[in-house]
Structures are given as C-alpha cells and as structure tokens.
Structure 1
Amino acid sequence: MPSDADEPVFDEEFIRGAAFTEPSAQERSRPPGRLRRMRDRRALRRSGPSGRAGRRGLGGRGPLGRRRRRERREPTHRRAVLQVIAGVAVLLMISTGLWWWNRPAPRDEADGSVIIEQGVPDGGNPGGAAPGAHGDPFAGSPAASYADGEAGIQMPDPKAANGLSEADLALAYVRVRKLIVAANLDPATVYERKPDAFRRLLDPAQRRTFDRDLDEKGEHNSRTWLTSFAAGTAERAVPTVKVHGTVTAAKARDQGRPGVKVTADHLFVYAVQRPGRPETAMREVVRRAIEVFVYREGGEVKLWLTRTDSSSAPSACDMGDGFVHPRYRDDRGGAPGGESHDPYDQSKPIQEDPECGQVTRV
C-alpha cells in the first residue's frame, strides 16, 4: 500500500504550472515564432500517411514511392529486352535471305551452266560451247582474257612518216579504229546487216564501189568487208564481244604515192544463239585482217581500204554470200572433213581459199 510520501502533492505551485492559459487575441494575431514553427513541422512529420510527408512519399521520395517506381519499370525493361531480341532476329533473317538470294548459282552440267571446252567435234557437233543461263559465255576459252569491245583495239603511237605529220597520223588512226569498230562491233552491221556506219567512213570513191558490190554474187561481193550474220541465223546471247589483236604501221607506197600502211589483225569472239533459243548459245570466233593506206591528197588526210580477209568458226562452209553462218551444236549432218585448226591461232596468215575443216576449240 503506498505511503503518504508517494501521494502527489497538489499544492499551489503544481496548480500554477498545470494551468492552461488561453492566449489573448493580440497574441493569436502575432505570427508564430521560430520555436513554434519548428514544433509544427515536427508534428506534421509525425502525422504519418495522412499528412504531407506521407503523400509525398507515395509519389516521389519515400521508400514506398521508390519501390512502386521499380515495380512500374520492370515490365517496361523486360519488354525493351524482348524488342531488342526480336529486332536482332529480324535482321538475321533479312541477312540470311539476302545471302540466299545473291549466292552463286550452282554450276551443274545437267542444266548447261558449266562451260565445257570442246575438242574436235564428232557426230555433227560443231564444237560450240553453251554458256547456259548462269554461265559466262567466254569462260573456258582464250577469249575469257580478251578485252571487251573497243578496248581490244589499240592503235600505235603516231609518229611522223613519209610526208605525214604526227597530227596527220593521229587523226588517221582514229578513223581506222572507227572503221574496224563499224565493220565488226556495230550491232546494226553485225546482226541487222545494215552497214551504214561503215560506209560513211569510206572514201567517197570507195564508198561508191562498196554500194555497187554489196551483196552481189561472186568474189567482188563487198559484204565480205564486214562481219554480218546471215538473216535468221544468230542473235546476241550477251552484248559483250571479246576482242584481241594488233595494229601496226609502216612506211609504204601505193601507185607511186607515199604514205603509211596500217595493218590490223583481230579476233572477234561473239556469244550468239539461235533467235529465241538461249539453250543453243555458243561462241563464234571471227578473225579479220585488214590493210588501210593513209596518204595526203589535196591538203587532206585520206584513207583507202586496200585489203580485208576473214575467217569464222564454227560456221558453215562455201555459202558464197559473204555472211557468217554459225554452225550450232544441234545442227544435223556430219562434221566437216579436212584438217582441224585452232581459230584462236594468229601465228599464220588467213588463207585466201581455206579448206573447210574442223576446229579444235571455240
């Protein structure tokens, strides 16, 4: 039982300390002091979720707010990772598709895509090589290393000679080169049998002879000055014509006139096929050797075609019309007799009346 000493003493001093004194109106209108403001802020912090600090914790700086932001970011992070993985997969699929599309076509003898070098024809096979839909028509032959088109016609350096200046010969070489191109590379001449570009380059007097004898029967047929495939026999398998040869120049006289003789000897290798029949594609080798006499007359540099010889393989023999008649692999009839020869060999001159024979390769 508690003693009297433990009993609270409610004396006058205790009552004065415990008394509540209401502030006056003047005191209430006075702004709170620094101590009062600090007490109010502590009270607000202790007020928990219902106070400002609690609301701010939900939305921004409290631990609960940080946890909720992490919970919101985690699905977005996973989604971003999945999007990156999907993007990489799409790129890999595109790359694989492009590789597959552009991969080298398989070369199979069954579909004719392999160029097979032919030996001496047998059983009527003319020795042509079919390039096929995906093959290089010149692969497997010396023509593969030849220049394309006009690039294979290189003229000598012009040097003054026999009354012709360096400038005269430079001009003459340009015209000779154009003459060779027009006769053997111009598609209108070769495939359409329209040699307009060639005839315009001839001296007017020689042009009249050319026009008069064009496609005339006999040895004077001026169609032999050109390379033209007979009508209905050939069309281009590819636009490229492979060219290889030489051009030389030397002092000369013609009918007492001084000048320079330009000698050209070229191989023209065409990829041809029967019209509308790509499966018949093959190479046709035409060798053409010409001589052009360059001289001055009346203050002008003039050109005169003095000789032109040619041979072709594989082609039909003794047609006598001046046109090239390709001999395809599917042509009927036996192989031509006579001695075999290499159409790429330029070590010997072209024979005036060559014996129709077989070719070792084309």
Structure 2
Amino acid sequence: MGGRGEPPDGPPEGAFSGAEDEYRSVVFDESFVRAARLQEYSAQERTIDHTPAVRRRRTPHTGLSRQALALLLVIALAFATAIFMGIRTPYRSTLAERPVEELRTTVVPLAPQGPVPGAADPQELYAHSRAADFEVGAEGIPWPAHGSTAHFSDSQVVAALTYARDYIVASSLDPAVLAGGSPDAVRSLLDPGQLDQFDQSFAHPAADGRHLPTGWLVRFDPARVRLADPRIRMRGSLRTAETDADTLEVAADPTVVYALRPAGAAADARASLFTVRRELLFRFDRDDLRLHQVQLVSSSVQAGPLSCPGDSAERFRPLLAGQSAQAGGPAATDPYAPDAAPALCGALAPDAEPKP
C-alpha cells in the first residue's frame, strides 16, 4: 500500500516516497555525528561473531574553563579572608570602645550581741524571722515594670535585667559556689575586661576593696558549715537607668537568708540563719547586651552573724547556733597604705535574728 498522497501502485521507480521526503530537510553535520552516543559498526566489523550492530561511544569529559577556575579561586580566597578576619577580630566592638571600670567592694561583718539562736527545724527558724515572707530562690527577685529608654529598646532593657538577675542567682544560690567550689558559673557572666581582677581576687584575696572574693559572690568555709536547707530564702528588687546614650545600669538589692549547720553534724543538729544583704550596681554597654555579660562596678555587702576580728574577705565563716562573737573590733587599718580600704564591722540588730 502506498504512502500518504501516493498512487495505489506506489511511487514511480526512482522517485522518493512520501516518508523519505519528510526527512529530506534534516542535515546531519559533522558535530552531530561526533556527538552521537551510539556508533554503527562497519560491515567488516559485524562479520566477527557475537559483535553487536552498534557500540556505545565514550564522550570526552571537558574540563573547567579558565574563567570558571578563576572564579572558584576568587571565591575560595574571599572565604578564607572572611574566616581569618573573624578569628582576628575581637569579640568586643572596636567602635568607641571604653575601658571597663574595676569593681569596688565593701564587706561589713555584723556581730551578734549574744548567742546565735538555733533550732533543729530550719522551717521553724524561717517562720520566726524577718525572712518568713521571703520567696524561695530566684522567685524572690520579681521582674520590675520596664520599657524602652531614650537610646535603648525595651528588649535591650529586658536583656540587662535578665543578665543582672542571672548573676545574682549564680553568685548567691549556686550550691557549688556556696560550698567554696569553682566560681566559673559566676566568672562566665562577667565582661572580659573584669576577668583579670576577678581571677586575682581568688588567687590572692585581699581586704583592699578591690580583691575580695566575698564582694563578687557568696561562699562559705566548707570545713565549718553546710546548708541545712537547700530552699534558700531571698527578697530583692531590680531598677534600671540609662546613664548615657551607650550605657544602661541596673541596681539590685537582694537580701539572702541561709539555714546552716556545722559541717559533718547530724541531720537533727541545731541550725541557725545567716543573712547576706548585697547592694549591687551593674553596667551594660551594647556589647554586653549582645554577648550576655555584665560589668559589676559596685558591691556593698553586709553579712552576719560573724565575728568582727574574723577574716571575711575570702569566704564567710558564720557563727552557728549557740556561738557568740569574739571579743574585739575589726582588723586594724593602715592609713598610710596606698589604696587602703578601712576595716569595717557592725552590730547585728537583735530584731534581725529569729525568735524560735
């Protein structure tokens, strides 16, 4: 049967059929032939036994052009430069960087005027003390009302309050810190500009107003006392203020009350209360807010019951139930010593002690 449009008996001899005419315009040039994946064997090659009619050609793999290689090299150099600059750039901004102020500290031991009250049940002591209405732990520091300032957003003010509160919790409630262990939980929150002073305070403590460990945090002598109740009572407040266009300050006044027993004493041994009032001033620049760190620039501490002649610079050595303060006043102060800090001591008011 003839093709489309052909006579019934087929096309005349020597004429192209309709099917052939459809492909007459197709031209197979040299590049098309070279790009073909299949190649037909020659007649001689096909006479070999088991030789297929066609074979698959291997297409040559073209390498990257010089332009592509140059582009990859530029990208690699830019990436390496970015990493190098990231390592070399300090984490504090170099724009208008200001020196960090040293911490100034006063620690005032409060001596009882008689034997320290005690009871076997710490809850009884709390219930009959000025701390009866205090909250447990960080709940004793409620969030104050807050808002944006002239140069700081509300979120930045909240960050400053949060970081100050974190420092108070770590330096007043952390069991390892209280027991005289590593102070790293507190150190990790400080601005890097204060780390040297902090480290010097613990390596070489001194009652000079700048290197008192008890000015940075609360810790006890583990050879003398231990916590009688892990539910530490606390009450305090936080207040924020913008001091200039680049500085926020947070003032805090936590009062913390601990129930203590002698180290190694039985669980039913008489406990006593130890009170620490801290007035702290934190300072934050924009880097501090971004990096979750604080500058502690002022710390005023009152703690008791303690003996005035005792050393309260490195750690607290509280007077326990039934004990009385040693006779004598505070340590001597040398007015000729450079940067000398006066030795201070106060009397613990009777109303500040529990009445079990």
Q: TM-score, normalised by structure 1?
A: 0.56
Alignment equivalent of 1:267, drawn from 241, 246, 255: 255
Deviations 1:97-129 (A, max 9, x none): xxxxxxxxxxxxxxxxxxxxxxx743xx1x3x3
Does 2:155 align with 1:167?
yes
Cα deviation for residue 162 of structure 1 reads 4.2
Alignment equivalent of 2:305, drawn from 314, 323, 327: 314
Alignment equivalent of 2:135, drawn from 109, 128, 147: 147
Q: Which has the higher contact order (CA 8 A, sep 6+)?
A: 2
Deviations 1:77-101 (A, max 9, x none): xxxxxxxxxxxxxxxxxxxxxxxxx
Letter in 1 for 2:313: D
On the 8 A contact 1:249/1:260 being kept in 2, the answer is: yes
Which stretches of structure 1, 4 residues or more, deviate above 4 A after TM superposition? 332-338
On the 8 A contact 2:121/2:270 being kept in 1, the answer is: no
Alignment equivalent of 2:319, drawn from 310, 313, 327: 327
2: CA distance, partners of 1:133 / 1:287: 23
Cα deviation for residue 232 of structure 1 reads 1.0
Q: Give the total of aligned pairs.
A: 225
CA 1:352–1:238: 2 relative to 1, 3 Å: farther
* Residue aligning to 2:271: 281
CA 1:134–1:261: 2 relative to 1, 3 Å: closer
Cα deviation for residue 303 of structure 1 reads 2.9
Alignment equivalent of 1:300, drawn from 283, 290, 293: 290
Deviations 1:281-333 (A, max 9, x none): 10000001100012214993663111111111101224153311101234366
1: CA distance, partners of 2:296 / 2:288: 19
2: CA distance, partners of 1:323 / 1:288: 15
Deviations 1:207-232 (A, max 9, x none): 23212322523223241211001231
On the 8 A contact 2:160/2:250 being kept in 1, the answer is: no
1: CA distance, partners of 2:203 / 2:277: 20
1: CA distance, partners of 2:280 / 2:172: 12
On the 8 A contact 2:277/2:303 being kept in 1, the answer is: yes
Gaps of 5+ in 2: 1-111, 331-340
On the 8 A contact 2:144/2:238 being kept in 1, the answer is: yes
Gaps of 5+ in 1: 1-119, 339-350
Letter in 1 for 2:271: A
Letter in 2 for 1:147: E
Alignment equivalent of 2:199, drawn from 193, 198, 211: 211
Cα deviation for residue 261 of structure 1 reads 1.3
Q: TM-score, normalised by structure 2?
A: 0.57
Alignment equivalent of 1:241, drawn from 224, 228, 232: 232
* Residue aligning to 1:186: 174
Cα deviation for residue 334 of structure 1 reads 5.0
CA 1:221–1:189: 2 relative to 1, 3 Å: same
CA 1:165–1:216: 2 relative to 1, 3 Å: same
SS of 1:183 mapped into structure 2: helix
Structure with higher Rg: it is 1
CA RMSD after TM alignment? 2.8
